[in-house]
Amino acid sequence: MELAGVHRVYFIGIGGIGMSALARYFVRSGKEVAGYDKVPTPLTRALESEGAYVHYADSVAEVPGAFKEAAGTLVVYTPAVPASHAELAFFRQEGFQVVKRSQLLGMISRETRCLAVAGTHGKTTTSCILAHLLKEAGLEVMAFLGGVSEDFGSNFLMEGTEFSVVEADEYDRSFLWLEPEVACVTSMDADHLDIYGDDATLKATFAEFARKVRPGGTLVVRNGLPLQGLTYGIDDDAQYTIRNLRTEEGAYRFDIHTPEHTYRSVRFAKPGRHNLLNGLAAFTMAVQVAPQPDRLVKALATFKGVERRFSYKLNTEQLIFIDDYAHHPTEIDAVCDAIREMHPGREILAVFQPHLFSRTRDFGAEFARSLSRFDAIWLLDIYPAREEPIEGIDSAWLLGQIRNPRKRLIEKSRLIPEITRENPQILLTIGAGDIGLEVNPIKDALSHAS
């Protein structure tokens, strides 16, 4: 399929973080853009303000007339959309060009010098840091991000088309559509077992992704992973490594040792060793294509962050409120470690919304162990996303495995009054579902109460 003949693009699930970035690309490229999603969100409202038409009922009658013409119309969907979706069925029956989001991302990025970030954890933050570094280095770059960058105020950046930064998503083997010039694998922990079945199959698919790197390209790998490439790590024998790590005025200071040079007293302000590794991964990728590494070092110091990735919503002597997307035991551990490092001795109340019945079932013991580390833990109902319920798997089942005397189930409607009554020293909201929509109301209530 050639994109040159496409005049209109219709997105089924346009409000998704990856889909909306692609929609923004086509709006910026002068195409007509429309789409469907279940409910209005800040992302869909932003798209509407930028010129896209969005509706919220699965009805062919709601599709604008021009988008019902197969000639010149491209239809994009995600694996989360069921085959029974009325609009998707219509477009397929009528012979439209219908592609998955990942296939379209592969087509767009193939025309660029693509830098792709893969891994079960760290993709979004690493991609946002990488896009920031390349932009600050003066390169002509566009970026399709899986989160809202606080540096750009968007999940999409377009400063040119020579380079592209993309997240290489392992879900549904989506990343196998990509052919990057520089690729990175940050982690290969077991996840998405509803797709892969077992950990060995997941790891084999990451190895298949690694072989997608273009001839003459570069694979960057976190030290210790079973892949061959340029390695990065902290205080180890990696080719790119952080040494002399210390904290100063709420930020990290360290040296970066590379095979060619040592960059001294580098500053990076995002808390947590996991974020340090994300920053080092981005630097290692960027230095493969950027001609002035010193500009990359300076840009590390100015990176602001990503919404819902260790985002401070309130930070006062009386109360700290942090919000994070963590939805896997490894990610929850990383957030807990970062808080303990940055705010030692303070009690943490964590509110967690499990994401997917299958993930909760597959990692129940690991979730329980990670969540037991907080001083108090409250669980919301499981966010189902694309799944139907699994008998016997719910938040009460998970709660029963958590060893913490201050554990409880809580309804969303009771969050604000119960948090206010608890008066925590540190409040942490975590999860990949719609808990993010509760963050600003919680922040406003706590600000008012204080």
pLDDT for residue 202 is more than 90: no
- On the question of pLDDT at 1 being above 60, the answer is no
Mean pLDDT in residue range 155-168: 97
| 3-101 and 110-302 in the same fold | no
pLDDT of 151 above 80: yes
Q: Per-residue pLDDT for 448 more than 90?
A: no
* Percent of the chain scoring above 90 in pLDDT: 86
Query: Bigger pLDDT: 173 or 367?
Result: 367
pLDDT of residue 109: 96
Chain segment 243-299, per-residue pLDDT in tens: 999 988 778 999 999 999 999 999 999 998 999 999 999 999 999 999 889 999 999
How much is the pLDDT for 194?
67
pLDDT at 403: 96
Can you give the pLDDT at residue 148? 94
Phi/psi for 331 (5° steps) reads -70, -40
Mean predicted lDDT score pLDDT of the chain:
94
pLDDT of residue 196: 67
Domain 311-449 homologous superfamily, CATH: Mur ligase, C-terminal domain (3.90.190.20)
Superfamily of chain region 110-302: Mur-like, catalytic domain (3.40.1190.10)
Q: What is the pLDDT of residues 176-198, one digit of tens each?
A: 999 999 999 999 876 656 676 78
Q: Where are the alpha helices (DSSP H) in 110-261?
A: 123-136, 193-196, 199-210
Beta carbons of 169 and 146 less than 8 angstroms apart: yes
What CATH number belongs to 3-101? 3.40.50.720
List the alpha helices (DSSP H) in 269-326: 273-286, 293-302
What does the domain layout of the chain look like in residue ranges? Answer: 3-101, 110-302, 311-449
Handedness of CA 170, 174, 176, 180 (dihedral sign): negative
The average pLDDT across 190-211 equals: 81
Percent of the chain with pLDDT over 70: 98
